[in-house]
Amino acid sequence: MTAAPEIEPRRVVIVDDTADLRELLRLALVRGGFDVVAEAGDGRAGIEAVREQRPDVVLLDLSMPVMDGLEALPTIRRLAPQAKIVVLSGFGATQMSARAMAAGADGYVQKGASLTSILDYVRDVAAGGLVRAPRSLSAVPAPPSTASEEPDEMTADDPSGDTLTVDEEPPRRPTVHAADTSEPAHPPVGAHVSSWEALGMAPYGVLELADEPLFRVVYANTVAQRLLVERCAPGTPLSLAAPQLAGLVAFHRLDNDASFEVVLPGGAVRATLRRTGWSVLVYLDSASDDVGLLRRAIATTAHEIRGPVAVICGIAETIGWSGADLEAEQRDRLMASVARQARMLDSITADLLTAAQIQRGTLRIDLQTVDPRTVVESVVADRYDVEVRIDDDRQVRADPVRFEQMLTNLLSNAHKYGAAPYTVHVRPDGDLVSIDVVDSGDGVPEEFRGSLFREFTRAHGTVATGTGLGLYVVRTLAEAQSGRATYAPGPYGGSVFTISLRPC
């Protein structure tokens, strides 16, 4: 009797910029019978790994430096047409995940999911049991079926329970009826789901009004409904729901970029008008900059915290699986990962606390005699692959805790937005001691340099995320210690961020 042929394990390439998460994914996949043949920390390196290994499965992070997953996806798909590509999306990255599916990915999972559920999902996708139909931007819910209707041949079952169909016609606008006082407007059959979902989930109010004297409501998203308080069914004259807003819209109706403040039943807002071919769009955002900043801060901070928490939970899950079977070296690596991710959480919370102290005027600085070499070596050790150059041995007058916080923020910033190699250079700078943090990335766009050190700011188009507080905290702390924080483009590209402090 001939023995059954042995089935080779599926070969996997992991592409993610977080080394600790790659380690956990590798452990989970190997435990599940996969063969992890290569790892990469950015999209460009991931393309090369796929080119060399021709894997069966690719786990692809979407948000990475150098080249993100969406950029790398088409090339990876072309290099490995038979491979199953599962994208790893961060917390709240639903839109990017949908774009990845439309671009050819076979599935996606949230990074915050348990390792067990990720392993099970990858198994199913690799086996062909959970291949999701790509959600193109024109995918829409199918109309309600009746018993007499035959299923549409163009539809595909989505694992979420929704039936998807491809709409090749342009989206139709909802029809406005003056007497229609039914439920609030919903996307009509035939509209682009992505557009309506984007409007419905927007963090500001969106009103679409018919361009006629009564400005009847065509559509009002959830935030707009809350601000107007009164339910705005399609066809409702705006003057019945918000008389003051209706008057201002009438006054500014011919100004495409008009912007004004108005008090609505739900609070004060800034309204901005935009005209389409047949309607007037009114965007309603908070009139208070503080509220807008707080809202963005909460969203970005939640995203930043989720990453380290996911890694720490994954390590706990891994130890729970097979803690007794882990080799000493492997256990040490996992514990080092816990310490590293805990420091990241501590850095985030430290910046939040410092920003709050700055705003309240309660920031305290404990100036002491500090050796820059000691602080630099402490921050760099076991945390970053950084070259250290010391060309000035003078001690400085600084708060050692705040000094470490500033340097940590600059190194974290270089890792997120720059590229290796990295250098920390302590050098004389006239009557000051300067500490340069140098990276070899693309540098900061010239138009954004004036905003670098402002609170809650990030350059448009950047893939990496952050709280938007790191550089703001660095400059404020440097100035509180009679120093300064500056930026300059590197002589051969990249960025040079500098902390300058007074020597003792």
Query: Domain for residue 175, yes or no?
Result: no
pLDDT, position 116: 86
Q: Is the pLDDT of residue 206 over 70?
A: yes
pLDDT, position 51: 96
Q: Is the pLDDT of residue 397 over 90?
A: yes
Angstrom CA distances, 93 to 98, 110, 252, 282, 311, stand at 9, 8, 37, 26, 18
Query: Domain for residue 92, yes or no?
Result: yes
Given pLDDT bands bounded at 50, 70 and 90, which one contains residue 93?
low
Given pLDDT bands bounded at 50, 70 and 90, which one contains residue 11?
very high
Given pLDDT bands bounded at 50, 70 and 90, which one contains residue 464?
very low
Query: Domain for residue 3, yes or no?
Result: no
pTM of this prediction? 0.49
Over residues 359-380, the pLDDT tens digits come to 667 788 889 999 999 999 988 8
Q: Which of 477, 343, 469 is CA-nearest to residue 398?
A: 477
Over residues 137-157, the pLDDT tens digits come to 333 333 333 334 343 433 333
Specify the CATH number for the domain of residue 459: 3.30.565.10
Domain boundary among 127, 149, 164: 127
Report d(CA 410, CA 425) in Å as an integer.
Answer: 13
- In sequence order, the β-bridge partners of residue 141 are 164
Query: Domain for residue 156, yes or no?
Result: no
Domain range enclosing 351 = 295-359
Please provide the average confidence, as pLDDT, over all residues in the chain.
78
Given pLDDT bands bounded at 50, 70 and 90, which one contains residue 384?
low
Q: 16, 86 in Cβ contact below 8 A?
A: no
Over residues 65-87, the pLDDT tens digits come to 778 888 899 999 999 999 999 99
pLDDT, position 300: 63
Question: Are 224 and 201 members of one domain?
Answer: yes
Pick from 94-103, 428-437, 479-488: least confident: 94-103
Question: Are 276 and 310 members of one domain?
Answer: no
Q: Which of 304, 296, 294 is CA-nearest to residue 63?
A: 304
For the segment 350-358, the average pLDDT, to the nearest whole number, is 79
Domain boundary among 253, 287, 321: 287
Q: Is the pLDDT of residue 117 over 80?
A: yes
Q: Is the pLDDT of residue 258 over 60?
A: yes
Question: Are 374 and 470 members of one domain?
Answer: yes
Query: Domain for residue 142, yes or no?
Result: no
Over residues 434-453, the pLDDT tens digits come to 999 999 988 888 887 877 88
Count: domains in the chain: 4
